[in-house]
Structure formats: C-alpha cells, structure tokens
Amino acid sequence: MSVEFYNENVKGFFENTVDADMSETYEIFNNYLKKGDTILDLGCGSGRDSHHFSNYGYEVISADYSDEMVRMASKYLNKEVIKLDMRQMDFKEKFDGVWACASILHIKKVEIGKVLENSYRALKDGGIMYMSFKYGEGEVQRGGRCFSNYTEESFSKLLDSLDIFNIEKFWKTADVRPDRQDEFWLNVIVKKK
C-alpha cells in the first residue's frame, strides 16, 4: 500500500515537494473561497499547501494517513496534523473547501467513490473540492505506490455515477517539479450539489 512508501521515504518526499510551485493552482482554488473559510488539506504530505492556505487567511485542518508524513508536516507547520484514513473520515458539513492534491490518486478505483462521498459529507452546502490525478487511464503500481489515473471523460463518468458534485473546472498541467515535466496531471474542482 502507498502509505508504506511515504513512511519509508518521508525525507526525500518532503524535500522533493515542499518547494514545488503550486501558485497557479492555488489561485484557481482561491477564486471559489474567501479568507476565513475552513479548508481540509486531505493528504497534506509535506504540509506545503497547508502552509500556503494558512498564510492566505484560511482556517486549515491538515491530515495525512502516513505516520511519518504527519510527524514531518506537524514539525514543518508548527501545529498538529491529524492522522486520517480518507476512506473512513466522518466529518459533517465542517469545511468550505477540501484540497486533495495528489492524494486521492493513491486510493484504488473501487474505493474512490467512498472517499468522494465522505468528502461530500465533510463539505458545507455549496462547498468545493480540488483533486489532482495522474493523467491517463487505469490503475498503475509504481515504486511501491498505487496510482488511479483519470482523464476528463473517465472522471466525469465516476462523478455522474455518484451524483453528488457538479464539475466546476477541469484543466491539465505538467508536473511542476523540474525532473518530472513529461508527466501530466488532471486537475478538477467540483462543487457540492
């Protein structure tokens, strides 16, 4: 399972991601929210995005499933990061936004619907959710991690089957890390129906 990868490679992952420039994606996400809103950083990894959102003026709850990432992100953010399995989370109408950057992609396709339903329940009425996936189809095992890949079409079909979110925006980006520019991501923002 992917969590073991993060527990075993926490230092390298932290160093490889903490300074990645996500400013364009932050700007798109920020357009749907206002300062003071409450955000769940779901699968916060290094804490990079939680750091940005806290500085921007949101109230941020940071969560990750890897014990080592929780420890590292807590230290980096100087605040508690909660250990959370997104397949079992049970928040009720607590957040204006859920940010799931490169996190839900590690959930097997048969379980992604459950994570989206849990996220739906966690959002307030009209709340929004950002997600990113490797661009493509199928499930891939690579380097000790599972990746569930999507395109606009395949992710739209998944959302149609659940009927809980409206699609606000799809966009495709190259990986922002210098050594990964040949990798592409599907970015999506959805809104709670």
Express each pLDDT in 24-44 by its tens digit.
999 999 999 999 999 999 999
Strand partners, 83: 64
Look up the pTM and report it: 0.91
Q: What is the mean pLDDT of the chain?
A: 91
Range from 16-20, 68-72, 122-126, 182-186 carrying the lowest mean pLDDT: 16-20
The neighbour count for residue 81, using CB atoms within 10 Å, is 23
Strand partners, 123: 95
Summarised one tens digit per residue, pLDDT across range 48-102 is 999 999 999 999 999 999 999 899 999 999 999 999 999 999 999 999 999 999 9
Contacts of 192 (CB under 8 A, 6+ apart): 120, 123, 124, 125, 126, 127, 128, 129, 164, 165
Domain ranges of the chain: 2-192
As a whole number of angstroms, the distance between CA 70 and CA 48 comes to: 12
Mean pLDDT of 163-177: 90
Look at residue 47 in the predicted model and tell me its pLDDT: 95
Look at residue 16 in the predicted model and tell me its pLDDT: 64
Summarised one tens digit per residue, pLDDT across range 104-113 is 999 999 999 9
Q: What φ, ψ does residue 60 adopt, rounded to 5°?
A: -115, 130
Task: Give the CATH class of 2-192.
Answer: alpha beta
In a 10 Å sphere around its CB, with 0-12 CB exposed, 13-18 middle and 19+ buried, how is residue 169 labelled? middle
Look at residue 156 in the predicted model and tell me its pLDDT: 98
Q: Which amino acid is at 86?
A: M
Mean pLDDT of 129-153: 93
Look at residue 10 in the predicted model and tell me its pLDDT: 57
pLDDT classification of 177: cutoffs 50, 70, 90: low
Q: Token pair of 150, please?
A: 């999507």
pLDDT at 162 over 90: yes
Do the bridges between strand 95-100 and strand 123-134 make them parallel or antiparallel, or are there none, so unpaired?
Answer: parallel
Please report how many Cα atoms fall inside a 13 Å half-sphere around the Cα of residue 88, on the Cβ side: 5
Nearest CA to 129 out of 167, 92, 156 is that of 167
pLDDT classification of 130: cutoffs 50, 70, 90: very high
Mean pLDDT of 170-178: 81
Helix axes 109-122, 152-162, angle to 10 degrees: 60
Q: Token pair of 51, please?
A: 């750091």
Summarised one tens digit per residue, pLDDT across range 6-18 is 556 656 655 666 6
